């Protein structure tokens, strides 16, 4: 059935005809339509899953899957002896396991809403649920990938808290030179390419900086437009870039949030130092002091960990850190949140990888599902047939398979207004 016909049918379901909403269920055709619609909405969001090795778990086989990887065979540089069969070689296989979890969400639709609203509420709910499912599943994979140990920092820095942005010079933005260095590394690790290229997943804020480079190439300059990935923006040094608003951002929250008796502060200010205790000019109440425990802070470009903070009025509150403060720490020094870049600047992750760097799995038949419950389907729990619902459910796990085949670049950006995602 073509899309135009399907659309006409779907609008008729709730267009002033409430009898259908209380039927025993949607027709098979309509269920297929809504299910396909949810998946179509979700799939473009699944950018971090797109290049994974996929290995579904058969039903009835537990919740854990083993991804297998084999070590490369060594070079054989010794010449064969005439008439003598050499020794055979053993394959070296290792396994990496992943355990799936279940995720899902739903919205309830009242009978009055279905009877009085102008819009097709099931279509709208399905659209929103599909987007939610896509972002959720994508983020589950993204967080696993961004937990890798193979990190390159922009600007020649050696740690996240050193990365700078928004300064007059010396900003740690994503550059062509850094991309080339990472590609060189992947080549040295013998990481296989995907369709002839390595792949990079990049946040649009970083791509803004990168595409200003004169070495940048747009898709029509290097590829057959028919084979361009969705979201692809171009290539550098044998690496194709896929842009997404869901790229990982490391964000440092304000050091204190506003309470009824105390203002919130992005930063704090040193008043004096005694041993490992730093007295500050700002007021802290008990809740703010408790929330500071365990936070990381940056003072004079050095990273500290707060053990605890003591509440007090302005000039009397303090924070005690695990590390001994430098003797050069003076009054008026700024205390910045330390979970991201220098001065609390947002830090962006750009992932660059080759083939089989990571895998995703789900229980076969338990992938993304669309679930619709009709009015009254809850039986005695809905005795007046007042509530229906639409929802989604999925099983998912992701795993990094070969650390050497994936690099996370951390950099700042010209922009700094999104926060964590």
- Reported as a single tens digit per residue, the pLDDT across 38-65 is 777 777 678 999 999 887 777 776 788 7
- Reported as a single tens digit per residue, the pLDDT across 131-154 is 999 999 999 999 999 999 999 999
pLDDT bracket for residue 314 (50, 70, 90): very high
pLDDT for res 31: 63
pLDDT for res 384: 87
pLDDT for res 123: 81
The CATH code that applies to domain 153-245+347-357+403-411 is 3.30.2320
pLDDT for res 120: 76
**Would the pLDDT of 15 be above 50?**
no
Please tell me which residue, 166 or 69, carries the higher pLDDT value. 166
- Report the distance separating Cα 235 and Cα 178, nearest Å: 14
- Reported as a single tens digit per residue, the pLDDT across 171-209 is 999 999 999 999 999 999 999 999 899 999 999 999 988
- Any residues with CB less than 8 A from the CB of 95 and at least 6 apart, and which? 66, 67, 68, 69
**Would the pLDDT of 342 be above 50?**
yes
**Would the pLDDT of 251 be above 80?**
yes
> What mean pLDDT do residues 219-244 have?
77
**Would the pLDDT of 12 be above 50?**
no
**Would the pLDDT of 338 be above 80?**
yes
pLDDT for res 420: 61
191 and 234 Cβ atoms separated by less than 8 Å = no
Q: What is the average pLDDT value for the chain, to the nearest integer? A: 84
pLDDT bracket for residue 343 (50, 70, 90): very high
Helices (H) and strands (E) in the chain, counts: 7, 20
> What mean pLDDT do residues 210-224 have?
71
- Parse the chain into domains and list their residue ranges: 3-70+95-146+358-400, 153-245+347-357+403-411, 268-338
Distance from the first to the final alpha carbon of the chain? 39
> What mean pLDDT do residues 374-396 have?
85
173 and 154 Cβ atoms separated by less than 8 Å = yes
Give the containing element (helix H, strand E) for 106: strand 101-110
Strand segments, DSSP code E, in 198-317 are 198-203, 232-236, 239-244, 249-250, 268-274, 277-280, 296-299, 302-310
pLDDT bracket for residue 13 (50, 70, 90): very low
> What mean pLDDT do residues 396-415 have?
94
CATH classification of 3-70+95-146+358-400 is 3.30.2400, yes or no? Answer: yes
pTM above 0.85, yes or no: no
Percent of the chain with pLDDT over 90: 52
Give the dihedral of Cα atoms 325, 326, 327, 333; nearest 10 deg: -80
Strand segments, DSSP code E, in 189-275 are 198-203, 232-236, 239-244, 249-250, 268-274
Query: 265 pairs with which residues across the strands?
Result: 256
> What mean pLDDT do residues 388-403 have?
90
Residue 162 token pair = 């050193």
Highest mean pLDDT among 4-13, 223-232, 351-360, 364-373: 351-360
- Calculate the alpha carbon distances from 399 to 64, 134, 201 in Å: 12, 18, 17
């Amino acid at each position: 059935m073509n899309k135009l016909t399907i659309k006409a049918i779907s609008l008729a379901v709730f267009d002033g005809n409430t009898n259908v909403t209380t039927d025993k269920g949607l027709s098979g055709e309509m269920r297929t339509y809504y299910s396909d619609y949810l998946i179509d909405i979700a799939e473009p969001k699944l950018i971090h899953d797109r290049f994974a090795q996929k290995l579904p778990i058969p039903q009835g086989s537990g919740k854990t899957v083993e991804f297998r990887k084999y070590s490369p065979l060594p070079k054989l540089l010794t010449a064969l002896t005439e008439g003598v069969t050499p020794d055979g070689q053993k394959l070296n296989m290792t396994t990496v396991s992943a355990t799936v979890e279940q995720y899902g969400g739903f919205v309830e639709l009242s009978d009055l809403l279905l009877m009085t609203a102008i819009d097709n509420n099931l279509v709208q709910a399905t659209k929103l649920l599909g987007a939610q499912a896509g972002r959720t599943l994508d983020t589950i994979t993204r967080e696993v990938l961004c937990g890798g140990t193979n990190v390159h920092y922009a600007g020649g820095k050696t740690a996240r808290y050193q990365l700078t942005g928004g300064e007059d010079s010396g900003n740690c933005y994503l550059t062509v030179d850094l991309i080339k260095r990472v590609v060189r590394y992947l080549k040295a690790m013998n990481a296989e390419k995907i369709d002839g290229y390595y792949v990079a997943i990049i946040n649009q804020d970083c791509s803004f900086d990168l595409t200003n480079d004169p070495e940048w190439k747009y898709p029509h300059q290097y590829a057959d437009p028919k084979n361009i990935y969705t979201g692809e923006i171009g290539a550098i040094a044998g690496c194709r870039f896929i842009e997404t608003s869901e790229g990982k951002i490391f964000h440092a929250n304000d050091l204190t949030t506003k309470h009824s008796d105390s203002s919130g502060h992005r930063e704090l200010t040193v008043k004096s130092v005694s041993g490992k205790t730093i007295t500050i000019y700002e007021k802290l109440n008990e809740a703010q002091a408790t929330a500071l425990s365990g936070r990381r802070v940056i003072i004079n470009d050095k990273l500290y960990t707060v053990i605890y903070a003591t509440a007090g009025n302005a000039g009397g509150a303090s924070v005690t850190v695990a590390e001994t403060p430098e003797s050069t720490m003076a009054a008026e020094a700024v205390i910045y949140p330390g979970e991201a870049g220098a001065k609390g600047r947002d830090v962006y992750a750009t992932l660059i990888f080759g083939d089989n760097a990571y895998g995703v799995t789900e229980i076969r038949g338990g992938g993304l599902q669309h679930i619709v419950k009709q009015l009254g389907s809850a039986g005695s729990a809905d005795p007046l047939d007042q509530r229906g619902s639409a929802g989604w459910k999925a099983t998912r796990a992701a795993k990094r398979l070969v650390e050497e085949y994936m690099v996370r670049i951390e950099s700042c950006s010209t922009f700094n207004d999104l926060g964590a995602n």
